Amino acid sequence: MEYDREGPPLPTPRGPLSGAVGARLRGTGPLPDPEAVAAAPAYGDDLQLALYQCYELHYRGFAGVSPGLEWDPDLLRVRAALERRFLEALRAGTPVHESVADAVGALLVEPVHGEGVSHFLRDEGELWHLCEYAAQRSLYHLKEADPHAWVLPRLWGRSKAAMAAVEFDEYGGGRADRVHARLFADLMTDLGLDTTYGAHLDAASAACLATVNMMSLFGLHRSLRGALVGHFAAVEITSSPGSRRLAEAMRRTGAGPAAEHFYDEHVEADAVHEQIVRHEVIDGLLEQEPHLAADVVFGIDATGHLEDRFGAELLAHWRAGRSSLRTPLPAAPRVPAETSHTS
């Protein structure tokens, strides 16, 4: 994975909203009005891609798109409308626990007979399943920890120090070759995938985009700092057991040493991070700002809600012998010719 200072190309539009945002980024065409945004399916391809394009301006941007558009007032107004639609649906559709203790406690329970994606990949997954999973997850893992870094200026004391310590680990502890995004690119190389940042955006489903958009939404809004901490807790607490299963899947399928190492690294690191996040980040935040408890719960439960949606979609396609991707992977192991239906 070499650094591409130009950024990835703009994605193929998936409807009028994403088409209009893409056109504006190219310098042509009107932006969608708030009524069109409000009428769009919140979890649909069109809205999620439109929002993803808006958010990507705050990361690497896109090739040929002016960096000055990051703070373009018209684009920000459209982004705000897209965010409102997404957040309203997320709040309405997420079952929430009554307390932080209940929400965290639920994360710590490992089901005896798990049926999630990591269980499927460990027990039944073929190399093409792992390739598809990695391609979709690359939308986050090639910028791993970046959305969470936005919360640092919004924390203080124990929570800030602990969050910075975990982020330091995510960024390789000062070593470029151990940055987790670099390790994931090495995993992708073992699987024969294109490691270029943003290379698999067109292939990723709306359900995948939503999981990444949620991180950006929580990270970019100071008012949602509690939700971002909750999201971070959900990721770190559940990562170690899930990574163990995925490491076993990589070994069983002969994916390669770098593919195994990425998940082995997360088994060890995130077992430590879980304790830090629970006892220092969350407790430190709520010690100073107890009124954010409901937001922390929402962040935890919204993460589970979107991950469950994405996981159910993957398993539905794979168990039917179909690809989960919108566009096929070039030069990948045997993948069904039929790609998933768009939404």
Q: CATH code at 255?
A: 1.20.910.10
**Distance (Å, whole) CA 64 – CA 10:** 9
Among residues 38, 60, 92, the one where a domain terminates is 92
pLDDT in tens, the chain (343 residues): 666 677 999 999 999 999 999 999 999 989 999 999 999 999 999 999 999 999 999 999 999 999 999 999 999 999 999 999 999 999 999 999 999 999 999 999 887 778 899 999 999 999 999 999 999 999 999 999 999 999 999 999 999 999 999 999 999 999 999 999 999 999 999 999 999 999 999 999 999 999 999 999 999 999 999 999 999 999 999 988 999 999 999 999 999 999 999 999 888 776 778 889 999 999 999 999 999 999 999 999 999 999 999 999 999 999 999 999 999 887 666 556 555 554 4
Report the candidate in 274, 286, 297, 298 with the shortest Cα–Cα distance to residue 110: 274
Last residue of a domain, one of 37, 68, 92: 92
Q: Which amino acid is at 300?
A: I
Residue 275 counted as domain residue: yes
Token representation of residue 14: 């998936």
* pLDDT of 179: 96
Is position 290 within any domain?
Answer: yes
Rounded Cα–Cα distance for residues 295 and 282 (Å): 11
Residues 134 and 269 in one domain: yes
What DSSP assignment string belongs to 303-317?
Answer: HHHHHHHHHHHHHHH
Parent domain of 288: 98-319
Distance CA 204, CA 8 (A): 15
Q: Let me know whether 160 and 297 are in one domain.
A: yes
